[in-house]
Homo-oligomer: A and B are copies of this chain.
Amino acid sequence: MKRRTIGSVNTGPLGFFDSGVGGLTVVRAVQELLPGEDILYLGDTARLPYGSKSPETIRQFADEDARFLIARGVKAIVVACNTATAHALPSLRQQYRVPILGVIEAGVDAALANPNAERIGIIATRGTIGSHAYQHALALRRTGLIIHGQAAPLLVPLVEENWIDHPATAMVLKTYLDPLVEKGIDTLMLACTHYPLLIPLLREILPDDVCLVDSATTCAEHLQKELVNLNLLAPAGNEGKLEIHLTDLSEEFEVLARRFLKKAPGRIHRAVLGG
């Protein structure tokens, strides 16, 4: 898997990393939009979740994740994890020359594609909300926005348990969202890669006119534009392969991977970081 540039295409794989398997929702969206891209995915399942940990620890983990991918010749890296994007993207970009994309810019672009967006709610892990990365990026792009960040730490475990239509999940979502709805949000940003699986339930709970913006599809569109700009698209006719590496393997993670990808993940490899 060496990085080779041939004219305006590049045969290296795209590298993705996440704290676990939630980032596979982004992979799935990318596979739909860019089926010719080879993908190397790293999930740090031995140390997941990142969302509740300190910025310093998340930066250290993200650095080890990026090194793993770079050592395998990826042509670009997608930080398919909102918490890692929020805390580690600037330092990763300073340190490495390979193009590195996060999920935040893409989400912010998509939310502000609606010229009428004025009151924006954000749900995410405690780490992402506490970083103020989304709030900052939004405020820099449009003045006068009213932004409400809501940490929603119980949603990841509920999605991982596949309780995506359980009444307890509806109750948890209402607890998080009622204050945002009362504040009249017109847009809700799902700022965690696990949340796309909650869209059907969110649609039931939220008023019809609230626009949902998720990390997976917006990141795929953003990635496509960047690959075109950087002349990094895979050669035409390539049949994209997906290779998944996890720092901890278990049957449970395989079941989750299948759920996030909406298909069988193939053989999953055990990754050893560091060194």
Contact = CB atoms under 8 A, between A and B. Distances in A.
A250 interface: yes
26 contacts: A45-B53, A46-B47, A46-B57, A47-B47, A52-B160, A52-B250, A53-B248, A54-B248, A54-B249, A54-B250, A57-B248, A126-B252, A153-B157, A153-B161, A154-B154, A154-B157, A154-B158, A154-B161, A154-B163, A154-B168, A157-B157, A166-B175, A168-B168, A168-B172, A168-B175, A171-B171
Contacts of A172: 168
A57 B46 CA distance: 7
Contacts of A249: 54
Nearest to A172: B168
Interface in A42-80: 45-47, 52-54, 57
A53 B246 CA distance: 11
Interface in A1-60: 45-47, 52-54, 57
A275 interface: no
Given A54-B248, A171-B171, 16 more contacts: A46-B53, A52-B160, A52-B250, A52-B252, A57-B248, A126-B252, A153-B157, A153-B161, A154-B157, A154-B163, A154-B168, A157-B157, A168-B168, A168-B171, A168-B172, A168-B175
Interface in A227-251: 248-250
A200 interface: no
A144 interface: no
A167 interface: yes
Nearest to A153: B161
